Amino acid sequence: MGGESTTRTVPRGGGTDKGPVGGRTGQRLSGLAVALGLVLFLGGFVWGAVVYRPYTVPTSSMTPTIDAGDRVLAQRIDGTDVRRGDVVVFKDATWANAPMVKRVVAVGGDTVACCQEGKLKVNGKVVDEPYLLDGTPAEFSNFPTVTVPEGRLFLLGDERDNSVDSTAHLTDAAGGTVSRGAVDARVDAVVWPMNGMLERPTGFEALGGLSSPGPLRTVVALVIAGAVLILVGAAYGPLAKRAAASRARTGTGPAGAR
Q: How confident is the model at residue 1, as a pLDDT?
A: 46
Q: How confident is the model at residue 246, as a pLDDT?
A: 72
Cβ 29 vs Cβ 238: under 8 Å: no
Per-residue pLDDT tens digits of the chain, which is 258 residues long: 445 444 455 445 444 444 555 557 767 888 899 999 999 999 999 999 999 999 999 999 999 999 999 999 999 999 999 999 999 999 999 998 899 999 999 999 999 999 877 899 999 999 999 999 988 889 888 888 999 999 999 999 999 988 999 999 999 999 999 999 999 999 999 999 999 999 999 999 999 999 999 999 999 999 999 999 999 888 876 666 676 667 777 765 444 444
DSSP string across 174-222: TTTEEEGGGEEEEEEEEEETT-EEPPP-GGGGGGSPPPPP-SHHHHHHH
Q: How confident is the model at residue 181, as a pLDDT?
A: 96
> Which residues, in sequence order, are CB contacts of 225 under 8 Å at separation 6+?
37, 40
What are residue 122's DSSP bridge partners?
A: 112, 125
**Catalytic residue positions, numbered:** 61, 102
Name the DSSP letter for residue 246: H
Q: How confident is the model at residue 15, as a pLDDT?
A: 44
CA distance 105 to 157: 10
3 state SS of 144:
strand
- pTM for this entry: 0.82
Q: Omega before 115 cis (within 30°)?
A: yes
Q: How far apart are the first and last CA of the chain?
A: 32
- Domain ranges within the chain, ordered by starting residue: 23-48+220-251, 52-212
Q: How confident is the model at residue 237, as a pLDDT?
A: 65
- Fold adopted by 52-212: Umud Fragment, subunit A (2.10.109)
